[in-house]
A and B are shown apart, each in its own frame.
Chain A
Amino acid sequence: AQSVTQLDSQVPVFEEAPVELRCNYSSSVSVYLFWYVQYPNQGLQLLLKYLSGSTLVKGINGFEAEFNKSQTSFHLRKPSVHISDTAEYFCAVSEVGGGADGLTFGKGTHLIIQP
């Protein structure tokens, strides 16, 4: 079984400042890693994912994340945030070879952009 920890439930940031949203995972097997974003009253949208290869993954809307196997982390970063980035961000994992097991999600981080 896997688990995902997002330590920060809420992160306030000023517009145009950089941001990092932290994600750590625990698993006895290899996993794939995902970041999803949920805008208010909407469904979830994939930002980026790590399957294999380069540990630095670039996604949509200027976001990137780095997989660190030794620290079992997959932190999300953006160098300069915009007011439209205000949303809930979810880190998730799925087991390699796990078939249709679905995603295991963290509890989410609410990113609040202040003007």
Chain B
Amino acid sequence: DTAVSQTPKYLVTQMGNDKSIKCEQNLGHDTMYWYKQDSKKFLKIMFSYNNKELIINETVPNRFSPKSPDKAHLNLHINSLELGDSAVYFCASSPGVGVGDTQYFGPGTRLTVL
């Protein structure tokens, strides 16, 4: 009964490949996010979705495309992978968009681009 789950946990791939990371939350939350944690552990917001609609798209290359088929899922597609994409990617969700909602994080996906 994991609240926020991500698959896969580890992803090793070659430069230039296209890959996807899946995220699902069973908390009934309206808002979902993707964060990137670099090798120095710095976390930065990439995208947020509210009710399947894109709210934030930080300065992320357009090789990254989030897709939300429904409120419970927010998948991250990455095209033409580069070495610099190697990082841990975290999905998160929150009940809504107001009043300092707590964000619940998934376990992370460690992406290694060779």
- A→B interface (CB under 8 Å): 32, 34, 36, 38, 42-46, 49, 51, 88, 90, 94, 96-97, 99-105, 107-108
Contacts and interface: CB of A to CB of B under 8 A. Distances in A.
B55 A42 contact: no
Contacts of B49: 100
19 contacts: A34-B100, A43-B90, A43-B105, A43-B108, A44-B43, A46-B104, A49-B100, A88-B41, A96-B100, A97-B98, A100-B55, A101-B48, A101-B55, A101-B56, A102-B33, A102-B56, A105-B44, A107-B40, A108-B43
Given A99-B97, A100-B31, A101-B56, A107 B41 contact: yes
| Chain B interface extent, by class | 20 to 34
B103 interface: yes
The dominant DSSP class at the B interface is: strand
A107 B42 contact: yes
Contacts of B41: 38, 88, 107-108
Those 3 A-B pairs whose CB atoms lie nearest each other, nearest first:
A102-B45, A32-B100, A43-B105
Given A102-B33, A105-B43, A44 B105 contact: yes
B64 interface: no
B103 A103 contact: yes
Given A100-B31, A101-B56, A42 B97 contact: no
